Amino acid sequence: MLFSSITFLYYFLPLTVAFYFLVPRRLKNVVLLFASLVFYGWGEPKYTRLLGLTVVLGYGFGLLVERYRNKRAGRILCITSVVVTLSFLVYFKYADFFLSNIHAVTGWNIALLRLTLPIGISFYTFQIISYTIDVYRGETAQRSLIDLAAYVTMFPQLIAGPIVRYSDIADQLSARQHSWHGAAEGIRRFVIGLAKKILLADQLGELCSVFRASDEKSVLFYWMYACAFTLQIYFDFSGYSDMAIGIGGVFGFRIPENFNYPYISKTITEFWRRWHISLGTWFRDYVYIPLGGNRKGRWRQLFNILVVWLLTGFWHGAAWNFILWGLLFAVLLTVEKLWLLRKLEKSRIVSRIYTLLFVLFGFVIFNAENVGQAVSDLGGMIGVGGLPLISDETLYNLRSFGIVLLAGGIGATPVVRNLAGKVSEHPAGDRILEFVEPVGLAVLMLVMTAYLVDGSFQAFLYFRF
C-alpha cells in the first residue's frame, strides 16, 4: 500500500486513526501493530511471515542478550543475533549478485535464485540490529512482544524509513503524549510530504523516463536528466520521510528528522550530515565507531571511512554501480579530511558548486542500471560520442518541464521556509498565515487527489532498496 494512493489516504489511514484514538491507552500499540501488519500484507503478503519471524527472533535474542550482558555469552549472543538477522537480508537481496559474479569469474553454470526482494527489509533489518546492540550496550530489553513488534513494523516508517533506532523510541512505546496540536502538526507535515512526492518528485520522474526513452539525446538533455533525478530522489525520499514523521506525530511518536536541505551544503562531509540522516548516524554508531572511528590514527580513520562507504553503497543495492557510488564518496570524504576542507573554506561559491557537481555525478551513477550505463551517462554529460550540445527534443522538454525543474530547485533550499518565518514574525503576518495555511493545505489535498484519481503517480524510489 502506498502513502500516495486513494486507498491509503481515504480508507486505511482514517480508519486506523479512528480506532487508535477510540481504544484505551493499553491497546493503542495493539491497534498500531495490527494496522501495520495489514499495511505490509496489503502489498507483500507472502513475506509477512518473514517480517514476523525477524521480530520474534529479535525479541528472543534481546531478552537473552540482556540476561547475559556482562558475560562473554552476552557478546556471543549479540553477534549471533546480528548475523542471523543479516542473513535474511543477504539471502534475499544479495544472493543473485554473488552467484552471478561467481559465474562471471569462474564460468560455472550457476542458476540464479531470482528472489523477490521483500519490501522494507533493508530498513527493518537495521532496526532489529540496532535494538539488539542497544540492549547489549545497556538499554532495557523490551518485555512486551507486542510493543517491540509495534516498533519494528510501525507502518509510517516500515517501508522506507527513517531508520528509527530503538534507543530513540523506547520510552515512547510505553508512554507518549497525544494532543490535538501534535496531530494537527503531523497532518500538516504529512500533506507537505505528499505534495513533494506527487507534485514534484513524480513530475521530475516523468522527465527522467522521457530521457531514457529518447533517441535524440544531447549534452543539455543529459544535464537536464541528471538535475531532474537529483531533485526527484530528494523530493521522493524526503517527502516519504515527512509523511512518516507526520503520521508518527499523529500517533504521538517523535520520529527523528531525516533531511536538512542537503543541497545547500558546502562540502561532501556536510552533505552527508544533511542527507538520509538516520542511515548516516546508524553507520556511524554501529560500524564506524566500533571499528575505531578517529581514535586510532589518521590512516585507520580513512580505512574506516572506506569500509563504511562501501557498505553504504552495497546497502542501497546489489550491483556494482552502487559500490562504485559508495567508493566515490569514500574518496571524496577522504580527500576532504586530508586537505580539501581547508581549501573549500576560502570560497562559499566554489565549495557549493563543487559539492553539487559531485552529488550530481554520484546520483547519475546511483540511478544507472549498471556500470556501463553509468559511464555512458557521465560521458554524455561531457559530449562523448559526438553528441550535439542541444536538440529540438531537448528544447521541447525544457519548455515542458522547465517550471517543475525551477520549482524543485527553489524547493530544495530553505527559501520558502525562511520567507514564511519572516512573515510570521509580524502579528498581522502571523494571523494571515493562520488562515492561509489550512486553506492552502486543503487546496493541495484536492489537487493531489485529482492526480491520484487520474492514476498519475509512481512508487517511491526507496521501495526498491
Helix (H) / strand (E) containing 202: helix 202-213
Helix (DSSP H) and strand (DSSP E) numbers for the chain: 23, 0
Tally Cβ neighbours within 10 Å of residue 368.
Answer: 21
Residues contacting residue 183 through CB under 8 Å, at least 6 positions apart? 249, 250
Amino acid at 301: Q
Q: How far is CA 110 from CA 4, 89, 106, 396, in A?
A: 40, 21, 10, 47
Q: What is the DSSP string of 172-185?
A: HHH-----HHHHHH
Alpha-carbon dihedral sign for residues 27, 16, 51, 82: negative
Report the first-to-last Cα separation within the chain, whole angstroms: 16
- Which cell goes with 193? 510530504
- Which cell goes with 162? 527513517
40 three-state secondary structure: helix
Q: In which residue are the cell numbers 494532543 written?
A: 179
- Enumerate the active-site residues: 316
Distance CA 401, CA 214 (A): 15
Q: What is the DSSP string of 283-310?
A: HIIIIITTTTTTSS-HHHHHHHHHHHHH
Distance CA 150, CA 269 (A): 34
Beta-sheet strands, E only, within 39-106:
none
Distance CA 37, CA 149 (A): 10
